[in-house]
A and B are shown apart, each in its own frame.
Chain A
Amino acid sequence: MFDMHEAGLQIGSAWLVRESTLRLRPGELTVIVGPNGAGKSTLLKMMSGEMRPTTGFVLLRGNDLRTLDAAYLAGRRAVLPQSSHLSFPFTVLEVVRMGVLPGYGSHADDNDLALAILDVVDLQGFADRRFQTLSGGEQQRAHLARVLCQIHSSPQEAWDKYVFLDEPVSSLDLKHQVQVMEVARECCRQGTGVLAILHDLNLAALFADRLIMMQDGCCVADGPPHAVITPDRVAEVFGIRALVNTSPPAGRPFVLPDADGKADGSAVDRIA
C-alpha cells in the first residue's frame, strides 16, 4: 500500500503540488490526467521516492519512504521515466536485462526473462539491435520492458509491487498505445498496482480503474472515469469545450473536443 499523506512540494516560492492525500491500492490501475504543469509528474516522483515532499510524507506499508533504502524500494516499485538518454552502444537486450534485480537467477535466466518481456512489448527480434538505432517509440517500449523486467524479477508478491509510468505512451502509435495499456492492465490483474500519467483522456477513460484529474498542483477529481470526466470539469480544467459521451460496449466515457467552440478562445481572438 502506497500512502501519500498531505504531501506537497515547493520549489522557490511555487507549489508544484499542494497538500495531496492519495492511496494506491494493489491491483488498481490509477491514471492521472491534467494539463501541462498541473503537477502530475511531481506527484508521481514524490510517490516513487525520487522527490522528497516539502510537507507531509509518503508511506509504503506504513514506513516513510525516506527511511527505506534504494534496494528495498527497487524490489517493490519500478518507475518508467518520461525520457532518458543513453550515449553508450548497448544492445536492446543489455538495456532490458539491466532491469533484472540482483539475485534473480542465473545469467541464462536473466536473458530468458528479458527476451520474454521484449515479446510482451512487441519488440521480438530487436534483442541484438543497438539501442541507439531504435526509433523513439521503440526506445520507449524497450525502457518499459526494462521496468517490467525489474518488477518481474522481484521476489515479492504481485500485490506488494507497484509500477509507476510517467507518460508511457507519449511517442507510441495507436496500436502500441493500446498494447502498452493492456500490459499495464495485465499487471493489475495479477495484483500489482499501477500509477500512470496519460494525456489522452480517451485512453485514460478506457483503461483506468480510477482516474485522478489534476489542476494547478491539486487533485480536483478522483474516482471512476465516468464520474471524473464530465463536460463541465473538462471545460474547467483543460479550458476547452468538449462533448462527453459513453461508448456503448464498455460503458466508458469518451471526449470529443469541440473544434468550433472556443471555451477559452480569448487569446486567439486577441491575435485575430
Chain B
Amino acid sequence: MVNSRVATTPLRRRTAAPGDRQHLAQLSIIVLFCVCIGTAVFSLSVGPVAIDGFAVLRNWLGGEGLDAVSRDAIVLFEIRMPRILLGLLVGGALAASGAMLQGLFRNPLADPGLIGVSAGAALAAVTVIVLGDRYFPWLRETLSIFALPTAAIIGGLLTTWALYRIATRHGQTSTATMLLAGIAIAALAGALSGILVYVSTDQQLRDLTFWSLGSLGGATWQKLIAAVPFVLPVFVLFPLIGRGLNAMLLGDSPATHMGVDVQVLKRLTIVSVACAVGASVAVSGVIGFVGIVVPHLLRLIIGPDNRFLIPACILLGGALLLIADNFARTIVTPAELPIGIVTALIGAPFFLWLLLRQKGLIDV
C-alpha cells in the first residue's frame, strides 16, 4: 500500500504543495534582505545633525574624493556607520538567539532578556570592569577590546547552562520552571550589577542605564571589531542546526530517533546563544524584546521552520533595531533615549497582543 501509492505520486504535483511555506519563507528572506539594506542606507541620513548621507556616499563612491576632515564625513564614517553596523549585528544576534532559545527550550516564550541570559552577561561584563581593573589589571591588558565580550559570553554561557539544568529533568523541559528561574536569575544578576555599579568609581563604567536599558550610543569601529568575531560565526551556523532544532521541537527522543545528535545540538545552541548575546550585551547593554517579538512576528508569516526562521530573524532583527535606534536618537534631541526603552515601548504591547491573539496556541 505504501509503496504503490508513493510510486504513483511524482506525477501529482511538482509545484507548491498544500501546507508548504518554504517558497514563501525564501521569498521573505530576500525581501527582508532588501529591507535591511534599505533601512541601513536610510539611517545614514537620520540624526541630530542634518546630513545627506546619500550624497556623501555618492561623492565618495564617485571617486571625487572625500574631505576627510569635513564634519559630514566624520559624523558619517566615525559615528553613524559603526552605529548602524552595530545595530544590524546586535539586532540580528538578539533575534536569532531568541529563536534558538525558543527551540532549545521547546517553547515560544524564551527570550534572552526575559529569562536572564542578557542579565547574566551584563553582570559578568560589569564585574570585569569594576573588579577586573582593581584586582586583575592584566586581564584587560591581555585581552584588550575582547575582554568585555569574553566576560559577557562566559556570563551568558553560565546563565543559559544553569537555566537549562534547572528547568530540565529527565529530558523534559518545564516551561513554568524555566520562566520563573529566568526571572529570578535576571533579578539576581540585575541586583548584583546594580551593587557593582554603585561601588565603582571607575570612569570607564558609564551609568547603570547603559547596562539595564541598553544603548547603541557608544558605537565605535573598535566595539564593532570586538563583537564581530563572536557574532558572525553564529550567523553562518544556522544551516547546521536548523533541521535539528526543528526535530527537537518534537522532543529529545523523537529528535534522536530522527537521527539528530541531541547532546551536540544542545551544546552548540547554548554556546551560540551565549556568544551572540554575550557579545551584544558587551557592546550595547541589555536590549529587551527583540528576541521574542521578531521570531514571533516571523512565525506568523513563514512558520516555525528554523532553517528559514533563523536567517529571517537575523535580517528582521537588524532592521527593526536600526529603526528603533533611529527613534532613540532623534525623538528627544539633543539628548538620546536608551534604545531598550524604545524596544520595550514597541515590543511589550506587541507581545501582549500576541498573547491575546494566540491564547489557545501558547500554553505554559
Contact (A88, B257) CB under 8 Å given A127-B18, A182-B1, A190-B2: no
CB–CB B14/A108 < 8 A: yes
Closest-CB distance, B253 to chain A (whole angstroms)? 5
Closest to B309 in A: A88
Q: Which residues of A contact B304 (CB under 8 A)?
A: 88-90
Q: How far is the CA of A56 from the CA of B8 in the complex (A)?
A: 45
Instruction: Evaluate contact between B251 and A84: CB separation under 8 angstroms.
Output: yes
Known contacts A93-B20, A112-B13, A148-B2; A87/B108 CB under 8 A? yes
Q: Are A132 and B361 in contact (CB under 8 A)?
A: yes
Q: Which residues of A contact B303 (CB under 8 A)?
A: 89-91, 94
Chain B residues whose C-beta falls within 8 Å of the C-beta of A127 in the assembled complex? 17-20
Q: Is the CB of B108 within 8 A of A94?
A: no
What is the interface residue range for chain A against chain B?
35 or more
Q: How far is the CB of A192 from chain B (nearest CB, A)?
A: 9
A-contact bits for B239-259, CB 8 A (1 contact / 0 none): 000010011011101101111
A152 touches B361 (CB 8 A): no
Q: A50: which of B108, B246, B257 is its contact (CB, 8 Å)?
A: B257
- Indicate whether A70 reaches chain B with its CB closer than 8 angstroms: yes
Q: Does B344 contact A (CB under 8 A)?
A: no
Select one of B15, B19, B249, B251 contacting A129, CB under 8 A.
B19
Contact A70-B1, Cβ < 8 Å, known A87-B108, A88-B299, A94-B303:
no
Binds B, one of A13-21, A72-80, A214-222, A240-248: A72-80
Q: Does B348 contact A (CB under 8 A)?
A: no
Query: Secondary structure of the A side of the interface?
Result: helix
Contacting residues, chain A, for B257 (C-beta < 8 A)? 48, 50, 73-74, 77-79, 81, 150
Contact B12–A115 (Cβ < 8 Å): yes
Instruction: Indicate the member of A70, A94, A127, A128 with the most B CB atoms within 10 Å.
Output: A70
Chain A minimum-CB-distance residue to B304:
A88
CA distance A84 to B9 in the complex (A): 29
Contacts of A119 in B (CB 8 A): 5
| CB-defined contacts of A77 to chain B, threshold 8 Å | 257
B78 on interface, CB distance cutoff 8 Å: no
Chain B residues with CB under 8 Å of A75's CB are 259
Q: Is there a chain A Cβ closer than 8 Å to B106's Cβ?
A: yes
A99 with B251: in contact, given A128-B19, A190-B2, A190-B3 (CB under 8 Å)? no
Q: Which of B1-52 contact A (CB under 8 A)?
A: 1-3, 5-6, 8-10, 12-15, 17-22
Q: Is B177 an interface residue (CB 8 A)?
A: no
Task: Decide if A85 touches B251 in the complex (CB within 8 Å).
Answer: yes
Asked if residues A120 and B2 are in contact (CB atoms below 8 Å), the reply is yes
> Which residues of the other chain, B, contact A116 by a CB distance below 8 angstroms?
5-6, 8-9, 12
Cα(A86)–Cα(B247), bound, Å: 10
Known: A91-B21, A102-B243, A114-B17. A183 touches B261 (CB 8 A): no
A186 to B303, CA, bound (A): 34
Q: Enumerate chain B residues within 8 angstroms of A170, measured Cβ to Cβ.
A: none
Q: Is the CB of B2 within 8 A of A98?
A: no
B249 touches which one: A81, A86, A101 (CB < 8 A)? A86
> How far, in whole Å, are A74 and B304 apart by their CA atoms in the complex?
23
Partner of B1 from the list A71, A86, A89, A186 (CB cut-off 8 Å) is: A186
The CA of A43 and the CA of B19, in the complex, are separated in Å by 36
Q: Which residue of A lies closest to B243 (CB)?
A: A102
Given contacts A75-B259, A88-B299, A120-B2, contact A98 B247 (CB under 8 A): yes
Q: Which 9 A-B pairs have the closest CB atoms?
A: A74-B259, A93-B19, A128-B19, A91-B19, A111-B17, A127-B19, A88-B304, A128-B18, A127-B18
Interface contacts beyond A116-B9, A117-B2, A152-B6: sample of 19 additional A-B pairs, CB < 8 Å, sorted by A: A69-B261, A70-B262, A73-B257, A77-B257, A81-B254, A84-B250, A84-B254, A87-B108, A88-B299, A90-B304, A93-B20, A94-B21, A108-B17, A112-B13, A115-B9, A117-B6, A120-B1, A132-B361, A186-B2
8 contacts between A and B (CB under 8 A): A69-B261, A89-B303, A90-B304, A115-B13, A116-B12, A128-B18, A129-B19, A148-B2
Interface of A toward B, CB cutoff 8 Å: 48-50, 69-71, 73-75, 77-79, 81, 84-95, 97-99, 101-102, 107-109, 111-117, 119-120, 127-129, 132, 148, 150, 152, 182-183, 186-187, 190
